[in-house]
């Protein structure tokens, strides 16, 4: 009886295998057709990816040649990259035999859900478009805001990236930048450098002002075409506060400020101009001794 059971089981397995083979053979034309479409889809993807790269390079060259604006070029590059890859995916899905109408309907529903769930991101996208139109700053400008300061590296679809002086990257949503104050230190070619220093009340004021001006004049990045102004800013508790300013190119601002600040101290030391500092005088009263103590 055991031998008969094994035989029946084996026959059942053989029948199942035969049915599976028959099913595969009956669907072989469809399988072959799908594999052919899959191969064509892969070819379309590889060709399409290269075509997109060429089109993006052509777009970059055309944009730079027409406007010379790196900000506009990078923004259009990001936007076109998304659209072109979306079109490529749409073509591949159609080549695989799926209904593009159903795909559009499904993507429309998904897009509506995404829009409702990503209202903040859409506001940042709108902020990116607004930044591109209004142009408060561009790539390469030095800006500062509540979230940090640095050189603008890119203005993307949703975020603006800036590089700080200590070589960090800060990514700020575009919507935040459009809704807050942003200082653009590169908007004008020239920038004023302000330096303040205090001198003692015992120092020769007129001589100290001449030495202070000399510190500005000795700086190679201070523009000779612009005036250097030295003035008394405040009569403080422990000294006279002098202020001075000159002009330099925006790219030379920090180097100029550091140079002048250092040379003010050196020249004051050479010319005997005292820079006051807070001092604390301590008086100790000795107790009065009575007779017999």
Tens digit of each residue's pLDDT (9 = 90 or more) over 161-195? 999 989 999 998 888 888 888 899 888 889 999 99
More confident call, 111 vs 97: 97
- 36-86 tens-digit pLDDT: 777 888 888 888 888 888 888 888 888 777 766 676 677 778 778 888 888
pTM (2 d.p.): 0.56
More confident call, 247 vs 155: 247
- 222-261 tens-digit pLDDT: 999 999 999 999 998 889 999 999 999 988 999 999 999 9
pLDDT at position 275: 87
**HSE-up of residue 71 (Cα within 13 Å, Cβ side):** 21
What are the structure tokens assigned to 150, written together? Answer: 């640095």
pLDDT at 2 over 50: no
pLDDT at position 130: 76
pLDDT at 127 over 90: no
How far apart, in Å, are the Cα atoms of 103 and each of 80, 93, 97, 98, 198? 21, 8, 11, 8, 73
More confident call, 25 vs 86: 86
Greatest mean pLDDT among 10-14, 22-26, 70-74 lies in 70-74
Greatest mean pLDDT among 71-75, 89-93, 98-102, 273-277 lies in 273-277
What's the rounded mean pLDDT across residues 82-103?
74
- 78 contacts 157 by C-beta, under 8 angstroms: yes
How far apart, in Å, are the Cα atoms of 186 and each of 41, 130, 164, 235, 289? 49, 20, 15, 34, 72
> Which band of pLDDT confidence, cut at 50, 70 and 90, is reported for residue 216?
very high
């Amino acid at each position: 009886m055991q031998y008969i059971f094994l035989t029946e089981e084996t026959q059942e397995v053989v029948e199942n295998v035969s049915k599976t083979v028959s099913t595969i053979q009956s669907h072989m034309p469809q399988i072959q057709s799908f594999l052919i479409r899959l191969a064509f889809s892969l070819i379309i993807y590889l060709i399409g990816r290269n075509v997109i790269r060429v089109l993006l390079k052509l777009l970059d060259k055309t944009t730079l040649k027409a406007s010379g604006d790196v900000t506009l070029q990078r923004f259009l590059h990001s936007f076109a990259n998304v659209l072109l890859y979306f079109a490529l995916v749409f073509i591949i899905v159609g080549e695989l035999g799926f209904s593009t109408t159903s795909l559009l309907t499904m993507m429309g529903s998904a897009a509506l859900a995404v829009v409702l769930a990503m209202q903040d991101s859409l506001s940042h996208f709108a902020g990116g478009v607004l930044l591109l139109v209004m142009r408060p700053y561009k790539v390469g400008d030095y800006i500062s805001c509540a979230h940090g300061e640095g050189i603008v590296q890119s203005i993307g679809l949703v975020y603006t990236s800036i590089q700080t002086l200590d070589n960090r990257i800060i990514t700020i949503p575009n919507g935040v930048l459009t809704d807050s104050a942003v200082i653009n230190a590169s908007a004008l070619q020239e920038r004023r450098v302000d330096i303040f220093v205090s001198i003692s009340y015992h120092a020769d004021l007129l001589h100290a002002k001449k030495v202070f001006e000399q510190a500005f004049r000795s700086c190679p990045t201070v523009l000779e075409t612009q005036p250097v102004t030295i003035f008394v800013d405040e009569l403080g508790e422990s000294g006279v506060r002098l202020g001075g300013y000159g002009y330099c190119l925006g790219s030379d601002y920090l180097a100029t400020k550091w140079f002048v600040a250092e040379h003010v101290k050196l020249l004051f030391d050479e010319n005997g101009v005292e820079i006051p500092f807070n001092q604390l005088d301590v008086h100790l009263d000795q107790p009065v001794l009575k007779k017999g103590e």
